[in-house]
Amino acid sequence: MNELESRVYQALAKVVDPELRRPITDLGMVGVIAGSADSFEVTIKLTVSHCPQADYLENATMNALAEEFPKDTFQLLMSVMTAEELAELKLKLREGKEPKTNPFTEGTATKIFLIGSGKGGVGKSSITVNLAVQLAKQGYEVGVIDADIFGFSIPGQLGTTDRPTRLDDMILPPIAHGVKVISIGMFLPGNEPVAWRGPMLHKAVEQFLTEVYWGQLDYLLIDMPPGTGDVAISVGQLLPTAKTIVVTTPQQAAANVAERSGTAGLKTGQEIFGVIENMSYLIQPDGSKLELFGSGGGEKVVQSLSDRTGTTIPLLGKIPLSIALRSGSDKGNPVILDSPDDIAAKELAALVQILIASKLPSSARTLKVSLT
């Protein structure tokens, strides 16, 4: 590598591909560098011709070069990787693993949480989104899978309309608020409903795990569908180290149904991490708490699941009713980012600290590095 090439690579090492989260110099995206320091051309090779980040990469590359060279000395050419170059990149991203490999099997160092409920409408999706963006805000690599195939809502709550990018048999998930996210809604036109039977549901969940490029995640949160159907069984089989978080409301009827959701995970080997009671109360102007949906639902689920497992299942927290939480979900602005001083946001932030403090499953392992 000559002096010009070295200076160009040093400048472009600052340009990070927003989908792959790695410098373009590490991804083989810097092509031919021709000329001299007084007048030269640099070719940038996109992964695919329809790359949604093409404009961003072009602008970021121009800005990075302008910090090192006078603007009138260089010209940027945009190109596309050859099939061989793309195959080499995919192999590098997979770290030598076979295509369509599930990276979250036994031994993964990713903390995986299944966030489920016995019935719909208890706020599990809003909780999933806010936990995810707060984890990302604190510097963790986070992924979210919208496994609620029939009732998908995660893209809207994250405020993204981006589509995944396909690199042949590899899918690059969109990133919203620092969170990698995939949902069946990203592949459908408009608000088209999904009408699938069990095998197709299993295939969709499997593809989200094996065909999506997740990179090295610290946390993977799964927004589960309500109930204990096909998807719950598939997720349990595909993610053996996952822990279950059960979401309920104070209402006794909701608590009864939530118990089944927690118990379903036990049948496929998932440990129950804890219970969250949502919509617990409404703060009144005088500071008192109005329990619109009754009380005791969270405690009831905790007691029942503790009895079933023979262990102490914790009540992780109680999230109050909040206009900011509801409004943020509707607008795609998670409350934990948009209104961090809101009481619901503070409760959610406290829940995140519990996730961070949790230990990896006993079946998982981390790489030990010797400093000697």
Domain shared by 230 and 352, yes or no = yes
190 and 76 belong to one structural domain: no
Parallel, antiparallel, or unpaired for β 175-176 and 219-223? unpaired
Which CATH number do you get for residue 27? 3.30.300.130
Task: Please give the model's pTM, rounded to 2 decimal places.
Answer: 0.87
Residue 159: count other Cβ atoms within 10 Å of its Cβ: 16
Tell whether 120 and 36 lie within a shared domain. no
Percent of the chain at pLDDT > 70 equals: 92
CA-CA distance, 311 to 298, in Å (whole number)? 16
Q: Are residues 211 and 311 in the same domain?
A: yes
What type of residue is 340? P
In a domain, 264, yes or no: yes
Cβ pair 292, 321 in contact under 8 A? yes
Instruction: Answer yes or no: do 350 and 248 share one domain.
Output: yes
Query: What pLDDT, on the 0 to 100 scale, is given for residue 366?
Result: 41
Count of domains forming the chain? 2
Q: Tokens in use for 172?
A: 């690059």
Instruction: Give the confidence band of 324 by pLDDT, cuts at 50, 70, 90.
Output: very high
Q: Please check whether residue 85 lies inside any domain of the structure.
A: yes
Indicate if 137 and 213 belong to the same structural domain.
yes
Name which residue leads in pLDDT, 9 or 309: 9
pLDDT in tens, 231-244: 778 888 889 899 99
pLDDT on residue 205:
85
Whole-number pLDDT of residue 152:
84
Domain-located, residue 371: no
Domain with 216, as residue range(s), is 111-357
Q: CA of 98: how far to CAs of 66, 90, 167, in Å?
A: 40, 10, 15
Residue 310 and residue 240 share a domain: yes
Phi/psi region, residue 310 (left: phi>0; alpha: psi -120 to 50; beta: rest), is left
- Inside any domain, residue 207: yes
pLDDT in tens, 150-162: 888 899 999 999 9
Q: Is 19 contained in some domain?
A: yes
The CATH number of the domain holding residue 294 is 3.40.50.300
Reported as type and span, the H/E element at residue 245 is: strand 243-248
pLDDT value at position 214? 94
Q: What is the pLDDT of residues 26-78, one digit of tens each?
A: 999 999 999 998 999 999 999 998 888 999 999 999 999 999 999 899 999 99
- For the chain, what is the mean pLDDT? 88
Residue 113: name the closest of 131, 139, 97, 86 by CA.
Answer: 131
- Tokens in use for 306? 């503790």
The Cα 338–Cα 20 span in angstroms is 26
Which residues fall within 8 angstroms of residue 143, CB to CB, at 6 or more apart? 173, 179, 180, 181, 182, 214, 217, 219, 220, 221
pLDDT at 196 exceeding the cut of 70? no
Residues 123 and 231 in one domain: yes
In a domain, 366, yes or no: no
